[in-house]
Chain A
């Protein structure tokens, strides 16, 4: 059974700092890994999707890396801003069955606070 762990559970940093959020998973047989952002009382916003054959993806100030063999992913946020304050969730999917549907296994998230 796949398990996803995110460390730390909470993180507080001053504005402008670069930071790294960690995600680890127990079963390296994944199809893809997705990072989401959740704001209080809101839905999940997809940030980055990394296919199992990829090593990293970048979007603006965000960079996500994937080391499938070791079961790890990191989300790097450069020059953090107060607007980055949210909970960041990591989710992995099992090998794709071709049935059109695949489930995500989520970590419990890292709650990030960026202090002005």
Chain B
């Protein structure tokens, strides 16, 4: 009964490949997010979706494309992977403005 689940947990791939990370939440939240934690452990928002609509789209390369088929799912597709994309990617969800975030356990992406 995991609240926010991401797959895969680890992803090792070669430069130039395309990969996807999947996220699902069973909390009934309307909003989902992708955050990136870089090698210095700094967390920064990438995208947010509210009821399948893109709300926040920070300055990330357009090789990153989020997709939300329904409000319980938010996937992240990355094209033409580069070494600098290596990081931990966290999915999260929230409901409204006053109830805080729930994070998934993260996907560690390593590009070689």
Contacts and interface: CB of A to CB of B under 8 A. Distances in A.
Interface of A: 31-32, 34, 36, 41-46, 49, 51, 87, 89, 91, 93, 96, 98-104, 106, 108-109
B45 A103 contact: yes
Interface in B65-112: 90, 92, 94, 96-106, 108
B4, B42, B45, B97 — most chain A CB neighbours (10 Å): B97
Contacts, number: 72
Contacts of B108: 41
B41 A96 contact: no
A100 B30 contact: yes
Interface of B: 4, 30-31, 33, 35, 40-45, 48-51, 55-56, 90, 92, 94, 96-106, 108
B94 to A, nearest CB: 7
A96 B33 CA distance: 16
A98 B42 contact: no
A99 B50 contact: yes
Given A87-B41, A89-B43, A106-B44, A100 B51 contact: yes
Contact of B97 (A91, A98, A106, A108): A98
A43 B98 contact: no
Nearest to B100: A49
Contacts of A43: 4, 90, 103-106
A92 B4 CA distance: 21
B43 A106 contact: yes
Contacts of B50: 99-101
A46 B100 contact: yes
Contacts of B101: 34, 44, 46, 91, 104
B31, B92, B101 — most chain A CB neighbours (10 Å): B101
Given A43-B104, A101-B49, A106-B42, 17 more contacts: A32-B97, A32-B98, A32-B100, A41-B108, A42-B106, A43-B105, A44-B90, A44-B92, A44-B101, A45-B103, A93-B97, A96-B97, A98-B97, A100-B50, A101-B31, A101-B56, A103-B56
